[in-house]
Amino acid sequence: MKDLNYQLSKLCRDNRDGGFSTQATRSRILDLIANQLLALGFRRMQASSLKPKHIDALLAKWCEQGISPGTLKNRLSALRWWAKKINKPSIIVRDNRVYGIGKLQNVAKGSKALKLDDMQLSGISDQYVLLSIRLQAAFGLRREESIKFSPSYAMQTDHIKLKPSWTKGGRARTVPIRNEDQRQLLQEIKAFVKGGSLIPAELNYVQQLNRYQRQLRNAGLSKLHGLRHGYAQQRYLELAERVCPVAGGLPSKELDPAQRALDHEARAIVSSELGHARVEVAAVYLGR
């Protein structure tokens, strides 16, 4: 392994900020950046030697490659994390607009809601994985949250609670139990795991994540983030008593004042239940 790749890998191992998915993504990005810096002619570079000239060279390469704004933001986020860990946060400007990267238009253009049928689910042979997928659909959970789910901790009278160590950004949250189907699913999970979690006792999270991904591939399925979109749209329908814009409902600008107030309240609740700190994120799932 090249020196810089090794040092950045060690920096990631020694500083496990965020959830597993965040850590894995950051590690992959920094490994790519190390390779690109070497290709750009920065040889014998150390993790501690990051300078503005390296940032400028990387950005020039990425712009030349036509990298999307979203990917550029992710890579800059990884660079800022690197700079912070070596006590050089000031070498990267915090405002992405300085680098010519505008604000992302996080508004859904079409519905990404996903609903799996029995035929598709029949391709999942592992019961732990199947129950995790059903949890994602029933409560709008992220993949990591559904895999780490432990009913002995999470199940409450009228809601489930999620540990910070399960969630993105380490933000604990609750999600309401709203119907009998959800209650039955939770009881089914509780009876199946017998005091454990949806990770088999003989496996750790990474091993179960790999099993989850294999099961999806074998069943002809890809990422199931659309299940969260489906949850968000159903919750909006319940709360606002209307179909959301991305599913064919009226856009927010055409609502009357009373409808607009209800729309905003519904979006705030949906964002909170999905684990987002800003209500504006709801537009990704619901449209505007």
Q: What is the mean pLDDT of each run of 10 residues along the chain (288 residues)?
A: 87 88 90 93 91 89 79 91 94 79 64 89 95 97 96 97 89 95 98 97 93 93 91 96 93 92 95 89 90
How far is 143 from 148, CA to CA, in rounded Å? 9
How far is 30 from 213, CA to CA, in rounded Å? 23
| Residue 112 lies inside a defined structural domain of this protein | no
Query: Whole domain around residue 269: which residue ranges?
Result: 227-286
Structure tokens at 62: 């990425």
Name the region of 194 (left: φ>0; alpha: ψ -120 to 50; beta: rest): left
How far is 12 from 73, CA to CA, in rounded Å? 19
| Residue 113 lies inside a defined structural domain of this protein | no
- Give the 3-state DSSP-derived string for 96-143, with helices as H, strands as E and coil as C: HHHHCCCCCCCCCCCCCCCCCCHHHHCCCCCHHHHHHHHHHHHHCCCH
| Residue 257 lies inside a defined structural domain of this protein | yes
Q: Are 165 and 190 in contact (CB under 8 A)?
A: no
pLDDT at 216: 93
With tokens 């712009």, the residue in question is 63
Residue 188 three-state SS: helix
| Residue 105 lies inside a defined structural domain of this protein | no
We report the CATH number of the domain holding residue 148 as 1.10.443.10
pLDDT at 93: 82
Neighbours of 245 (CB within 10 A): 22
pLDDT at 106: 59
| Residue 137 lies inside a defined structural domain of this protein | yes
| Residue 48 lies inside a defined structural domain of this protein | yes
> Are 67 and 155 found together in one domain?
no
> Are 128 and 215 found together in one domain?
yes
pLDDT at 131: 98
> Are 136 and 80 found together in one domain?
no
> Are 26 and 59 found together in one domain?
yes
pLDDT at 71: 86
Structure tokens at 44: 């014998």
Which neighbouring-strand residues pair with 176? 159
Q: Are 177 and 161 in contact (CB under 8 A)?
A: no
How far is 126 from 130, CA to CA, in rounded Å? 6
Q: Which residues contact 261 (CB under 8 A, 6 or more apart)?
A: none
Residue 172 three-state SS: coil
pLDDT at 70: 80
How far is 4 from 283, CA to CA, in rounded Å? 39
- How many domains does the structure of the chain reveal? 3
Residue 224 three-state SS: coil
| Domain endpoint, select from 219, 241, 272 | 219
Neighbours of 253 (CB within 10 A): 8
| Residue 173 lies inside a defined structural domain of this protein | yes
pLDDT at 244: 94
pTM of the model as a whole: 0.70
| Domain endpoint, select from 219, 242, 271 | 219
